[in-house]
Amino acid sequence: MSFEEKGAWLYLGAAVVTYVGYVVALLVRAGGAPPADAPWVSTMLGAIAASVVLSVVGQVVLGVARPSEAHQKDVRDEEINRRGEFVGGVTLGVAMVVPFALTLLEQPHVWVANAMYLAFTLAAVVGSAAKLVAYRRGFR
């Protein structure tokens, strides 16, 4: 498994784990009340920060564990990264229709922000999955 593929797995894991952690923490902090009544801003900011830290620290650990692989990037890695980022970007663009619609419908900020966070998470998951599929099956 290449260094870049390991990085895609890491990014996928960080996105999923922190989003699931956010939802669980939000429901726990709500304590049976509607999730919109929970302190969602601090919970969301904590989850986003945790995602960034997990991704960065994970990349550093990968680089330290296998320093010889860290800078070995070939044309295939670059093409896979480009296509994965494209797929993730398209996913983000499509998914952002939901928070845009919620804003136009003048829904509470909590739902707009949660829809945006979900859109970013979906983009990370779909983009990483596209990279991993390309690593395993190649291009068509």
- Give the residue extent of every domain in the chain: 3-137
Residue 139 has pLDDT above 90, yes or no: no
Segment 54-76, tens digit of pLDDT: 999 998 998 888 777 667 778 88
Tell me whether residue 81 is exposed, middle or buried, using C-beta atoms within 10 angstroms of its C-beta: 0 to 12, 13 to 18, 19 or more: middle
Tell me whether residue 13 is exposed, middle or buried, using C-beta atoms within 10 angstroms of its C-beta: 0 to 12, 13 to 18, 19 or more: middle
Single pTM value for the model = 0.89
**pLDDT: which is higher, 125 or 31:** 125
Section 88-101 average pLDDT: 98
Q: What's the confidence (pLDDT) of residue 2?
A: 83
Let me know: does 79 contact 139? Beta carbons within 8 Å. yes
**What are the φ/ψ torsions at residue 66 (nearest 5 degrees)?**
-135, 70
100 Cβ neighbours under 8 A, 6+ residues apart: none
